[in-house]
Amino acid sequence: MVKESKVERQLERLQEHLKQENPILSEVVSSFRELDRICRKLGFFSPEESHATRTAWWPLISVLGVYSSGKSTFINHYLAYRLQATGTQAVDDRFTVICYGRDDDPRVLPGVALDADPRFPLYRISRAIESVAEGEGRRIDSYLQLKTCGSERIKGKIFIDSPGFDADAQRTSTLRITDHIIDISDLVLIFFDARHPETGSMQNTLEHLVRGTIHRTDSNKFLYILNQIDTAAREDNPEEVFSAWQRALAQYGMTAGRYYTIYNEEAAIPIKEEKIRARFESKRDADLREIHSRIEQVGVERAYRIVGMLEQAARSLKQDLVPFLKEFMGSWRRRVLMIDGVMGGLILICFLLLTIWQGYWEGLHLRAPFLETLVSKAYIRDPFLIVIVLLALGVHQIVRRRVALKLISKSLKGIVGENRRSHYLGALEKNCRWTRSIFQVNPEGWGRRNRRRLEGVLDEANTFMQRLNDMYTDPSGEGKGGPLMGEPPLPRDGESDRAFHG
């Protein structure tokens, strides 16, 4: 009986957990596991790697931005729960992952609880930190913490509150975590301080959080929020403040996107003029409604994204990895045969010259004594000939290995990302093992059975997508759709376009 790996046990627990909240996603885990088995056969994955651990299985909302921009205050207000400490200076230097907990009192757990659990975002993030800052991966608790919250509004969701970005705290490992969070998030809220809308105080944030989002295919998941706009009420100049903020963004190429201006009433400066207060409150409420609506629908977006990841991973395996391996094997075979042919030709020439020099030729007939040994099959017992054969095989293996190493190095140059390079390296090396014939056309592990398995995963991905459509679309008007993981139906667009800025 094959011993079950650690990652398989973790995925079984994830699957059991998802059965209670979303049976469709529970079945998607099974498809990911099938895809993992194919990847391991190809040498693309190690036994402890899985596609399913590369994503958060619950909707993820990230809250990023400069310190003292009101990130924690916004989270507390949304949850209706005083969870995060707030202040005018940076009050927390760790990323805080917030999820639902049954206890009324919040619990604070160490970062290792996140690093070791594939159900949460930032699973195995310590390895990524270690790759850019040696020794820092062991200090995971210095970067991360997990908080539980009894608010009903966070059920089925996960928030990440980032430490404030400060020019004096731009550690490589912190930025690596930030990039990872941005990649896996369903919604990214980037906060700025309306008291300092110019470039100076938020230069580092603009550089890292804004410039990198411009050309992303998922740029619609970024919301840019100018918080504490109530500070503009005294001069009644919100348009000027907003314009200064837009100009700062434009310096980094950000000319389009969803912009919001909000403030927290409890922490706001009292606005005495009734008309001004009504105008500010109307704009704030409209923008908050739209932000909250986007937060509420991330469960739907996450389900589609996970199914999309399954299909994308399966298609990439079929359309990218397998052709890549076949092309490599073809080049490797041709080069080895060419070198073997050249070496064989040189050996033949040397043989002819030697036999001519020894006078074994009579016209066109070779009369060499060793021919009688070959005809009588006595060579089987001849140690000298056995050594020659073994030597020839050894030289052939050396040629195979040297050609393979050179081709592997050349092939990996076009692969971006250390993680992907290690996966491709594993698949290439598996196909270059000394026991494998160079005349094999298909990559190792790519037989008829695994081809059928992969087609089955692609069919399952299409089925999952159709089932999600059945839940959220209703072309016939019969009202058969339903919410996912406790999420409400998709909200209509708010009226936040009626802003100070027109």
Hey, where are the domains in the chain? 59-296, 325-444
29: number of Cβ within 10 Å = 23
In terms of Cα–Cα distance, which of 172, 142, 144 is closest to 160? 144
Contacts of 207 (CB under 8 A, 6+ apart): 252
Separation CA 32–CA 461 (nearest Å): 10
Please tell me whether residue 22 adopts helix, strand or coil conformation: coil
Report pLDDT for 169: 43
| Residue burial 400-414, b: 16+ Cβ < 10 Å; e: rest | beebbeebbeebeee
Report pLDDT for 205: 56
Separation CA 296–CA 157 (nearest Å): 9
Report pLDDT for 182: 84
Report pLDDT for 292: 92
CATH architecture of 59-296: 3-Layer(aba) Sandwich (3.40)
Please give the helix or strand (H or E) that residue 88 lies within, else none: none
Contacts of 390 (CB under 8 A, 6+ apart): none
Please tell me whether residue 100 adopts helix, strand or coil conformation: strand
Burial of 398 (0-12, 13-18, 19+ CB in 10 A): exposed
Give the chain's count of helices (H) and strands (E).
15, 10
- Structure tokens of 292? 């909250």
Report pLDDT for 114: 80
Within 353-404, strands assigned E span 361-362, 365-366
In terms of Cα–Cα distance, which of 157, 148, 165, 143 is closest to 71? 165
- Structure tokens of 178? 């930030």
Max Cα distance, the chain (Å): 120
DSSP state of 165: B
Phi-psi region of 363 (alpha: psi -120 to 50; beta: other; left: phi over 0): left
Distances (CA, A) of 225 to 65, 269, 402, 500: 9, 19, 56, 14
Instruction: Say how far residue 197 (Cα) sits from the centre of its chain.
Output: 32
In terms of Cα–Cα distance, which of 82, 109, 77, 80 is closest to 96? 109
Identify the segments of the chain with pLDDT beneath 50: 1-2, 90, 167-170, 201, 483-502
Please tell me whether residue 340 adopts helix, strand or coil conformation: helix
463-472 contacts, C-beta under 8 A, 24 or more apart: 464/24, 464/27, 464/28, 464/31, 464/307, 464/310, 465/304, 465/307, 465/308, 465/311, 467/24, 468/24, 468/303, 468/304, 468/307, 471/24, 472/300
Each residue's pLDDT tens digit, 222-251 = 898 988 888 777 777 777 788 877 777 777
Contact call for residues 259 and 294 (beta carbons, < 8 A): no
Separation CA 134–CA 148 (nearest Å): 30
Report pLDDT for 171: 58
Contacts of 223 (CB under 8 A, 6+ apart): 187, 188, 189, 190, 258, 260, 291, 294
Q: Which residues pair with 362 in a beta bridge?
A: 365
In terms of Cα–Cα distance, which of 122, 100, 270 is closest to 110? 122
Q: What share of the chain is helix, strand, coil (3-state, %, to 5)?
A: 55, 10, 35
Half-sphere exposure of 284 (CA within 13 A, CB side): 20
- Which residue type is seen at 427? A
Separation CA 68–CA 234 (nearest Å): 20
Separation CA 173–CA 168 (nearest Å): 14
